[in-house]
Copies of this chain bind each other. A is one copy, B any other.
């Protein structure tokens, strides 16, 4: 009999309890033993809950109860979640979490603590909601060296971009609908500015490349500058704009990593990922490209990932799996000025002919795109693969006789 404690009874917490009791019988079969949730920690009262007798407000009750062997932390944020998780691990309890902020900020430390105390620290729900990605990346792809990871990691921004692409809706209007549907917060910055996607690519990169990647060392851009004009030019290029988090092994000691809107050709598996869905592409040296697709958020998908981690933790109670990464030095991440890809550039020219000559001189051969209501003095084109610094320099020079209206990286997945 394994006893579990759930920390936090918000959306994911109540979903976790719901999924657990709905599928309890099959979960026990899979775990090979009886299971029960003994405590639910929340400061609020839930007088109408059928789980009335399980609620506690003091974390120490859980910490000091040796019967509790697995703790599911679904509070979110760093405080007090981190302290709870750290002390639970030190007390010899395995912890599973959906808390991407905590894993991205403190993953290396918590994995080390788990190892020292011979317990597990699992976080499948922290990336990709209900999509199995952490365990497949760690276990199923263990025979591969991972060369590259790229994903649509944030459902809110993907919903907004899908509205812009499919319905020709402007960013502000699409954001408003996302807020009305509960996909976006009233303050949408964490989503639309790319911070949420950044935390997730940090977790994936840490796992794939074995060293902790901290969010503040990652070049991060959101989607607020994307316009319907850009969407239209991309249509003529058979491509879609997606918010991508990507990380690539450059050599033994360096990786490239970034979060930004990117143009993806329609033939890519990532281009067909619409609405609130997420997808993660993993490029392994033996297996080639593998893509995992599904709902990246939501009560039940996320809860199902938490519950499956609970089952894994129960089954491997005395095994510290090799899921871990080391802490890292700053110079593990290559400067973003060296990031290489093609660039889409849109500009307003004083003279189209002159500007085309300048573009050729600065960027070499480029591919010009078109849009339905393209103004006469507007040009949009895709360059060859150049570094970020080269693109910056050339754009600065081009801005002499033309106004740069938009610039989006073009990725090849």
Closest to A287 in B: B130
Residue ID in chain B nearest A32 by CB atoms: B322
Tell whether, in the assembled complex, residue B289 and residue A290 are in contact, meaning their CB atoms are under 8 Å apart.
Answer: no
Q: Which residues of B are found within 8 Å of A143, using beta-carbon distances?
A: 19-20, 23, 27, 303-308, 310-311
Question: A308 contacts which of B132, B139, B303 (Cβ < 8 Å)?
Answer: B139
Q: How far is the CA of A274 from the CA of B129 in the complex (A)?
A: 27
Closest Cβ of chain B: how far from A341's Cβ, in Å? 23
The residues in A between 98 and 140 inclusive whose CB is less than 8 angstroms from any CB of B are 124, 129-132, 135-136, 139-140
CB-contact partner of A287 in B22, B135, B139, B295, under 8 A: B295
Asked if A142 CB lies within 8 Å of chain B CBs, one says: yes
Kindly state whether residue A217 has any CB partner on chain B within 8 Å.
no
Contact B140 A136 (CB under 8 A): yes
Q: Are B290 and A130 closer than 8 Å at their CB atoms?
A: yes
Copies held by the complex: 2
On whether the beta carbons of A290 and B292 are closer than 8 Å, the reply is: yes
CA–CA, A274 to B289, complex, Å?
Answer: 13
Asked whether, in the complex, the Cβ of B132 is within 8 Å of the Cβ of A140, the reply is yes
Are B269's CB and A286's CB within 8 A?
no
Whether the Cβ atoms of A145 and B23 lie closer than 8 Å is yes
User: Which of the residues B142, B267, B269, B311 comes within 8 Å of A142, measured between beta carbons?
Assistant: B311
Q: Is B304 a contact of A295 with CB atoms below 8 Å?
A: no
Tell me the interface secondary structure of chain A in the complex.
Answer: mixed
Task: List the B side residues contacting A315 at CB < 8 Å.
Answer: 319, 321-322
- A291 closest partner in B (C-beta): B293
Residue with the highest number of chain B CB atoms closer than 10 Å, among A23, A140, A303, A307: A140
Smallest CB-CB A-B distances: 10 pairs: A132-B140, A143-B307, A130-B287, A286-B304, A290-B294, A291-B293, A132-B136, A143-B304, A286-B300, A143-B308
State the A residues within 8 Å of B (CB): 19-20, 22-23, 26-27, 29-32, 124, 129-132, 135-136, 139-145, 267, 269, 272-274, 284-295, 298, 300-301, 303-308, 310-312, 315-316, 319, 321-322
**18 contacting pairs across A/B (C-beta < 8 A):** A22-B285, A30-B322, A130-B286, A130-B290, A132-B136, A136-B140, A140-B308, A143-B305, A143-B307, A143-B308, A144-B304, A144-B308, A267-B274, A287-B301, A287-B305, A288-B294, A290-B294, A315-B319
